[in-house]
Structures are given as structure tokens and as C-alpha cells.
Structure 1
Amino acid sequence: MKKIAIIGLGVMGRVLALTFTKSIPHLDIDLYDKASLGAKDNCSYQAAGMLAPVSEVTSCGIHTYTLGADSVQLWEELLSIRGENLVQKHNIIDKFDTLFLAHKNDVNEFDLIKNRVSFFTKQHESIKERFRNINSDDLSSLEPSLMNGTFMNKGLLITNEGVINVPSFFKFTSQYFSEESNIRLLKEEVTKIENNKVYIDEYTCEYEYVYDCRGFPIEKSKDSGLYGTRGEALIVQHKDINLKHVIRLAHPRHPLYLIPRGNGIFYVGATSILSEDYSPISVQSVMELLSMLLVIDKRFSEARLIKTLTSVRPTSFDDKPLIIRNIGNTSINGLSRHGYLFAPKIANDLLEEFKKDIYEN
């Protein structure tokens, strides 16, 4: 019986494990993580979980669309296991359209976004129909409550995007991995990987193949090709505010995004700081996020601040995933803030490589 190891249970490790166990049901998989399966302190758990390849090209490279174009479809396929639609049962994927808006003072920033969109759609005519310019009348029809904000009189609507409900995804995968007979969970810190061997101090285990999804290496060197990007976010609740879209607010320093999570709960994110500081969120960041939130809807001044989130994401110097293939193992890293967007495509590609080069031989 063939056996593989997956090290690290962030979004990449979990998606990879789901992909392999779904495609090769009898494959034995050892899952390693130094934290418990239900741990909530890694950057994947604290992520927004956006599946927005079209929206992301307004601020990122074209690779975000290339890798993430089919992300919603791939997630739906991944979460259809044994004929059961887990998307609906566990409320893991929410489909949204995205509204790009701007404060009246940030019209120049909004025009930059529109110019990027125009350039992008000339290269990809097939998605031109997913962009729609809107005016204040359109906005009042799409999101009446947003008329409580202080917006310019135009915006941009991007259709057919989505969001992973991150807590639901972690809860489901934790339960699924615990119940699968061919999956072994090992709460251990891997100290070294050598070809297809995994070391835990002096203990060694050999596999057909090893996938390292831990994020930063244990000893990150200057030539690792990675640096840290600190992300900060808030979870707020206001039961009288009900939004039907993901809201992105154009801003020269803090382009905020607001994600509805149901029951009046919202994920508020924006800050992206070049730092490997894991300390709690700063007062300044909280004030900036909240002030931007009030631009969207003044009623958020009465919202309850449920939680603050901070994490450090491994980011490559060209902002692309860093996938290093070695003899007997592959390291997957540098997904930055696009882990949920990129993971299904990367996992499918790695699965096909494994089946072609190892499993079928």
C-alpha cells in the first residue's frame, strides 16, 4: 500500500489531502502538524477566504487570474465527496458579486482600478461581461443600505465570485480527516525532510512522496525566496446590516474589503504590512479599519467588535506561489493572501504529477 506525507494543515495542506483522498481513495496519508487539528492560530484560519480572481487583477499580477480563474468551480468539485454536496451541507462556499466603490475623495484611485480593468479585459475578452459600470441609482438598487455611506456617484460591479467560509471549512476538514480510516493525524513538529524521509528529531519515516505545506521553513534564510507579509483584520457584528455583495473600497493606502459571513457578521480586512511581527493588532490599524468601515455604512459605529485577527503570510518576491520539486518531496509555499484562490489548482496539478510519475508506476 502506497503512503504519502503532507506536512502543515493550513489551507494548502488540507486541500491537498482532500484532493488526494478523493482521487485515490485507498492511498494512505499521514498528516503532520505541530498544532492540533482544530487550531485557529495559523494564517489560513484567519484569512478572508476570497475566491475573486477577477477582482484581484485590479491590484495583483495576471497570474492571480491564471491560477484562480476556475477556483469556485474547483472548490465545488473538491467538496463533492461520495456523491454528497458538502458545499450546501456545511455552508462552505458563498457565491457573491463584488462591488468596487470609492470615497468621494478617492476618485483618482478608483480611476486607476478602472484603467487596469480596461487593460485586462482587452487581453481577456471572454470575461468582459463580468464587469459592469454602475451609478448611484444602480447602487441604491443593488445595496440600498450603502446609501448611508459617503461614496462617489459611480462604481464597478464584478459578477460570479465567491468566498470560502473559513471556519466552516476548517470544522469540516477537521472532522473529515479524523473519521477517514486511511488518514493518520500526527501532532508532531517535523524537524527535517530529506528526499522522501520525514524526521522528527531522531525518528524517521519513509514515504512514497512528501509534500511540505508548512509556510515559512523552520530556519528561513535570506535565499529562501520568501518574506513575511503581516495581515490584520476585524470581525464585527451588526444584526441590522445585511449586505448581499462583497464590498471593496478603493483607497491609496488601505484598500478595504468587507465580507458578509451571515447573521450580521462581517470580516473586515485591509492592512498588508511588510513585517514578520506576530504580535496583536495595533491601535492605529484598528482605528484605520474602523474609520474605513464607517465610510461604507455609518451604522457600523454601533457594531460589536467580536474579534481581532493578525497573521504573517509567506510571500515570494514575485508574488507567485513558490513550488520547489526535489527528489522525493515537493515544497509548496508563498501563496501569500491567495491561499484559498490558488490551492485547488495547485493541488490538482500536484495530483496529476503524482499519478503519472509515481502512483501509476
Structure 2
Amino acid sequence: MPLLDLGIAGAGLLGRLLAWRLARAGHRVSVFDPAPGPQPRFDGQGAAAFSAAGMLSPLAELDNAGPDIATLGWRSISLWRDIVAALPDPPAFGQLGSLLLAHRNDFATAQRVLARLAAVPGATASPLSAQQLADMEPALQPPGHAWLLPGEAQIEPVKAMFSLYHHAPGVQWHWGCRVGTLHDGALQIDGAESGWRRFDTVFDVRGLGGRPTLPLRGVRGETVWLHAPGHGLLRPVRLLHPRHRVYLVPRPGDIVLLGATEIESEDRSPMSLRSAVELMAAAHSVMPALAESRILRLDRNLRPALPDNRPHIDVTPQRVAVNGLFRHGWLLAPALVEDALAAWARLRADAALPGPEIER
């Protein structure tokens, strides 16, 4: 199969997944990104993937997403398992299910969430008694109501981003280069290497940088990174809260990550006292051991979303665009990349252009 010269605009999660897959197939790959380098930035300005919790939760996302998102998510979990196995220096990955918790006063909210799950064939939430929860997660204090969401998974985002970057063979990474305009087979670079560059195909995965071509908005996410030696938490936990869907996610290195699912704001400023207090108080209410943890980082970032909060794929033989992953970036990215590359290969074949070789 002929090998191609490919350009990727954006070095976030989608960009690194694409670069890794296409380079492994032997293609010449160049990636352009305005960031100064591959490392994370925790100032609200870098790739949102670094700030994410890494929860792979098809069932929990049925709270306000359709069953098609869950279907993509289940496929992505399988793909993540294969990707992690193929990386020489893999990120932490686990599939022990996740927990949904609710205080007694929030049972009505829990019932609404469970009703959405019950409406989808095959979606199950298994109720847990206080003793069952204690046996499963001794670090948690039973809040009143608990359910296991079986099959859900988690991945360590920062390590995954570095592993994809370091093990994409032969990729040319161009940092400090913002892509301003894309056409079929060409992209315009601003900054360190300004000018037009031509490729057999270009991939547009710039996130919010895709404006104004797409009607994107930024959805703010906020996280608290806690160092809690010996915390003992094994599974991601979602706590139903009057204002937020608060989550707790165990990370390697005795870290517990706290976050809220979404805030409709494009504010990139540091976290407010109100947000920090609400997140930490909610987490402490179900995990008392966090009282003696130490705050490592208060982080925030914006995730790209379209008006319907659904992902968007647009493919021609010489241009592929994927955007609008909303809060589902880590949940959906591998499946969307697989679908976009499959559609691209078909279109190039129909147009009698050299067909790409793509390795999973």
C-alpha cells in the first residue's frame, strides 16, 4: 500500500492518537500545535486532555447523553485496552467498574439518573448495600445510596499523552505553530514556521481552534488534585450533588482527582473559592480520609462542544476534521479516530487516490 505525507493540526488527544496510528503504519506525519512543547500546562491554556479525569464511563454518561455515545464509549474502552497493550511505556488502565453514590437527601436526583439508564437496553446499575460498598471500597463512607456501574474503566491521561507522543515513530512535531486555515491537502501555519504547507491529506483536530469554521463553545471543567497516601480507592466515584456531578478518581502516586462534570463558561481564570470548597466538601463527605490529604493543584480548562454536545466528523479524500467531543474526549477519542480513518480510506479508494495503510 502507498505511504502518504500527512499533516495534523492539533497535538491534543486526537492529534496524538492520529499521529501514533498513522506513523505506526509508516506514513510521514507532521503535527503542528501552538503549545511551546509536548508537556502539560495546568494554567487553563494547554490541551484539555491533560486536565481530564480519564474516566471511561459509557453508563454514567447516559445521564445526559444518548445511547449512541455509550456505544462509542464501549468500543473505545476495548480500543484503549489494545492501545495500552501496544505502548512500551503504558499508562495505568483499569476496568473495575465505577460507583454512583447519593446522599439520602439526593435520592430523587439518583432516581432520575437511574431512570435514564433503565431506558437503554443492556444498561444496568447494580444497587449496593452499605456492607457491599464497604467490602468493595473500604475507604468510602456509605452515603445512603450506592450503585455499581459494571464494565466502566479509567485511564491515566497525562501518562497516556506522553506515551502516545514518545512512541509515535518518526513523527515531526512542530511546536509554537498555530494552524490558521485548512483546505483540502493544505494548511496555513502562523508563528515559528509561517506559510502554507501541502500534504496528501490534512487532519483538523484543533478543538476550540476550529472556530469560526464550526460553532464551538468552551465548556469549563475544574479539578482538584490531592495527594492522599494510602487512600485505598480503587474505582472512579460519581457523587450526585445538588449543583454538580462530583467525581473522585484514583491515580497512581497516591493521588485522588476531584472534579465537576461541566460549567457553561469560557472563563479560563483560576478556580474560585466556592468551587474548590464545594468539590472538596462533597468529596470529604463520602471519603473522610481525604481530610488529611494535601492539595497539589487546582486546575481548569475548556472542552470544545457544539450546540448539540455531539461529536462532529467531516471527511473528504484530502481533509479529515474531528471536533466537538465535549466532556467525552477520553471516552470517545479512539472510536472516533477509527471511524474517521475508515471513512477517509473509503473516500480515497472511491476517488482513485493512493489508499492509506492504517494500523490499529
Give the secondary-structure state (helix, strand or coil) at the position aligned to 1:336: coil
**Match in the other structure for 1:2:** 4
1:52-131 map, 5 Å? 52-81=57-86, 86=88, 89-120=89-120, 124-125=121-122, 127-128=123-124, 131=125
- 2:351 is matched with none
Query: Which SS does the other structure have where 1:235 is aligned?
Result: strand
Unaligned segments of structure 2, at least 5 residues: 349-353
Query: Partners in 2 of 1:329 and 1:78 — Cα distance?
Result: 25
Q: How many residues align?
A: 340
After TM superposition, give the deviation of residue 94 of structure 1 in Å. 2.4
Contact 1:30-1:184 at 8 Å conserved across structures = yes
State the match for 2:135 in structure 1.
141
Q: What is the CA distance between 1:278 and its match in structure 2?
A: 1.0
Q: Which residue of 2 aligns with 1:160?
A: 151
Shift of 1:309: 0.8
- Whether the aligned pair in 1 keeps the contact of 2:313 and 2:340 (CA below 8 Å) is no
Which of 19, 39, 45 is the equivalent residue of 2:21?
19
1:298 equivalent in alignment to 2:288: yes
1:277 matched to 2:271? The reply is no
TM-superposition CA deviations, 1:271-306 (whole Å, max 9, x none): 521111111111111011011011112221211001
Shift of 1:326: 5.0
Query: Is the 2:138–2:232 Cα contact (8 Å) retained in structure 1?
Result: no
1:234-253 per-position Cα deviation (integer Å, ceiling 9, x unaligned): 10021132112211101231
Deviation string, structure 1 residues 57-102 (Cα, Å, up to 9, x no partner) = 1232223202212222111223444xxx64xx42332223211111
| Secondary structure of 1:263 counterpart | coil
Choose the corresponding residue for 2:52, options 42, 47, 56.
Answer: 47
CA contact (8 A) 1:63 1:320 kept: no
Give the superposition deviation at 1:109.
0.9
Partner of 2:172: 184
Once the two structures are superposed, residues 152-200 of structure 1 have per-residue CA deviations (whole angstroms, 9 ceiling, x without a partner) of 1x321011221110111122123223xx23x111121122212211112
* C-alpha separation in 1, matches of 2:231 and 2:38: 34
Matched with 2:39 is: 38
Q: Deviations over 1:8-41 (max 9, x none)?
A: 111111112222233x2x2111111111122433
Paired position in structure 2 for 1:169? 160
Q: Which whole-Å CA distance do the structure 2 matches of 1:50 and 1:161 have between them?
A: 8
- The equivalent of 1:132 in structure 2 is 126
Partner-residue secondary structure (3-state), 1:146? coil
Q: Contact (CA 8 Å) 2:94, 2:155: kept in 1 or not?
A: yes
Cα pair 2:55 2:236 within 8 Å, conserved = no
Distance 1:299 1:78 in 2: 34
Local SS of the residue matching 2:51: coil
- Amino acid corresponding to residue 106 of structure 1 in structure 2: D
- Alpha-carbon offset, residue 119 of structure 1: 1.4
- Equivalent residue, structure 2, for 1:200: 189
- Distance in 2 between residues matched to 1:326 and 1:20, nearest whole Å: 17
Deviates more, 1:329-338 or 1:59-68: 59-68
Kindly provide the amino acid, as one letter, of the partner of residue 99 in structure 1. L
Change (3 A) 1:290 1:58: same
Does structure 2 conserve the Cα–Cα contact (< 8 Å) formed by 1:19 and 1:351? no
What is the deviation of 1:232? 0.5
- In structure 2, do the counterparts of structure 1 residues 210 and 349 end up closer, same or farther at CA, with 3 Å as the change threshold? same
**What is the CA–CA distance in structure 2 between the aligned matches of 1:101 and 1:42, rounded to whole Å?**
30
Structure 1 segments, 4+ long, off by >6 Å, are none
- Please say if residues 50 and 157 of structure 2, whose CA atoms lie closer than 8 Å, have aligned partners that are also in contact: yes
Code of the residue aligned with 1:4 in structure 2: it is: L
TM-score (norm. length: structure 2) = 0.88
SS state of the match for residue 90, structure 1? coil
Give the secondary structure class of the aligned counterpart of 1:229.
Answer: strand
Identify the match of residue 214 of structure 2 among 224, 231, 234.
224
Instruction: Answer yes or no: is the 8 Å Cα contact 2:92–2:155 preserved in 1.
Output: yes
Distance 1:290 1:78 in 2: 33
Higher helix share: 1
**What is the root-mean-square deviation in Å for CA atoms of aligned residues?**
2.0
The question of whether the paired residues in 1 share the 8 Å contact of 2:84 and 2:91 is answered with no
> Secondary structure of 1:266's partner?
strand
1:91 is paired with a residue whose SS is coil
Is the Cα–Cα contact under 8 Å of residues 94 and 163 in structure 1 kept in the other structure?
yes
Identical-residue share of aligned pairs (%): 27
